[in-house]
């Protein structure tokens, strides 16, 4: 079992560009959540995908969008990049119903995005 | 507010006990968690406690929960250099859409020196 995998591990972009980050959930998991972790901060919830739809969203602008595919993998897209978007982007997977139980939330190692 | 609060730094000697403290926000949170993050890595779940418990012990880890004060602590016995990492406290908050989303503190950086 490969666990949660994210790609790429590192990425450098310039202001105004667009970026796509990818995540494959742990085998058996159908729900994917994305978090942004700025330097020295805790992870901040961006959104969660289940059944190919955005189920819940945090306080992030529309420049942040996502997608979930039939195989449960997911993408995070960020348009019109700003310097402040530089952060570690973490993907976490779980099984639906996790919120009501104590099924573990598994995190990937993240994609480090630097915006210059 | 929705801030889970933690002290930012803790420095201990190898072999001593470490105690990391956290104040969470919602007295109705059902589960509270401690995650560990090593440099360049994602978050790893260390342990958790259900809200109807006061204490949970798991090998070198002891979690204490004070629901009245919304205070959570993690004690690491016989702290080793390999325990050096950032430790995050998290609670499950019910959001407006009905989903429970983990909300994290800023993390406590634990430094263990010989």
Which residues 6+ apart lie within 8 Å of A116 measured at CB? A12, A13, A14, A15, A83
- Name the residue facing B107 among A42, A58, A100 (closest C-beta): A42
Among the partner residues A44, A100, A110, nearest to B42 by beta-carbon distance: A110
> pLDDT tens digits for A9-52?
999 999 999 999 999 999 989 999 999 999 989 999 999 999 99
Closest approach of B13 to chain A, Cα-based (Å): 23
Cα A108 from chain centroid? 9
Put simply, the answer to whether A107 touches B42 (Cβ < 8 Å) is yes
| Chain A residue with the nearest C-alpha to that of B39 | A109
- In 10 A of CB B103, how many CB atoms? 23
Residues of B in contact with A59 (CB under 8 A): none
Listed residue (B80, B79, B87, B82) closest to B105, CA to CA: B87
Provide the strand spans (E) within B1-114.
Answer: 5-6, 9-13, 18-23, 31-37, 43-50, 55-58, 61-66, 71-76, 85-94, 100-104, 108-113
Nearest to A48 among B48, B88, B99 (CB): B99
User: Cα torsion at A96, A89, B94, A71 (round to 10°)?
Assistant: -20
Burial A45-75 (b: 16+ CB within 10 A, else e): bbbbbbeeeebbbbeeeeebbbebeeebbbb
| CA A86 – CA A26 distance, rounded (Å) | 26
Which chain B residues have a beta carbon less than 8 Å from that of A33? 101
**Nearest to B9, CA basis, from B57, B17, B18, B1:** B18
Contact across the interface for A102 and B102, Cβ inside 8 Å: no
Query: Which tens digit of pLDDT belongs to each residue from A44-96?
Result: 999 999 999 998 899 999 999 999 999 999 999 999 999 999 999 999 998 87
Query: pLDDT band at B101, cuts 50/70/90?
Result: confident
Pick from B22, B40, B101 the residue to mutate for testing the A interface (most A CBs within 10 Å). Answer: B101
Residue B36 corresponds to which tokens in the numbers above? 């560990």
Selecting from A4, A42, A99 the residue whose C-beta is nearest the C-beta of B104 gives A42
Put simply, the chain B residues between 20 and 59 with a CB less than 8 A from any chain A CB are: 31, 35, 40-45, 48, 50
Q: Is the pLDDT of residue B22 over 90?
A: yes
Structure confidence at residue B1 as a pLDDT band (50, 70, 90): very low
Q: In the A/B pair of chains, how many CB contacts fall below 8 A?
A: 53
Cross-chain residue pair A42–B95, CB shorter than 8 Å: no
């Amino acid at each position: 079992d490969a666990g949660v995998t994210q790609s790429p591990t590192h990425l450098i972009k310039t202001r105004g560009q667009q970026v796509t980050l990818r995540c494959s959930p742990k085998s058996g998991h159908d729900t994917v959540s994305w978090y942004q972790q700025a330097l020295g901060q805790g992870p901040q919830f961006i959104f969660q995908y289940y059944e190919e739809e955005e189920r819940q969203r945090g306080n992030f602008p529309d420049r942040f969008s996502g997608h979930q595919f039939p195989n449960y993998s997911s993408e995070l897209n960020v348009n019109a990049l700003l310097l402040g978007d530089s952060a570690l982007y973490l993907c976490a997977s779980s099984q639906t119903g996790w919120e009501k139980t104590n099924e573990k939330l598994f995190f990937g190692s993240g994609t480090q995005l630097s915006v210059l | 507010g929705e801030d889970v609060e933690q002290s930012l730094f803790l420095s201990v000697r190898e072999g001593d006990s470490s105690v990391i403290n956290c104040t969470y926000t919602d007295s109705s949170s059902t589960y509270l968690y401690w995650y560990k993050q090593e440099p360049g890595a994602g978050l790893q779940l260390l342990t958790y406690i259900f809200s109807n418990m006061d204490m949970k012990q798991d090998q070198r880890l002891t979690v204490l929960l004070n629901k009245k004060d919304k205070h959570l602590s993690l004690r690491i016995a016989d702290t080793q250099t390999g325990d050096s990492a950032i430790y995050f406290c998290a609670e499950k908050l019910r959001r407006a859409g009905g989903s429970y989303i983990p909300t994290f503190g800023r993390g406590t950086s634990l430094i263990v020196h010989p």
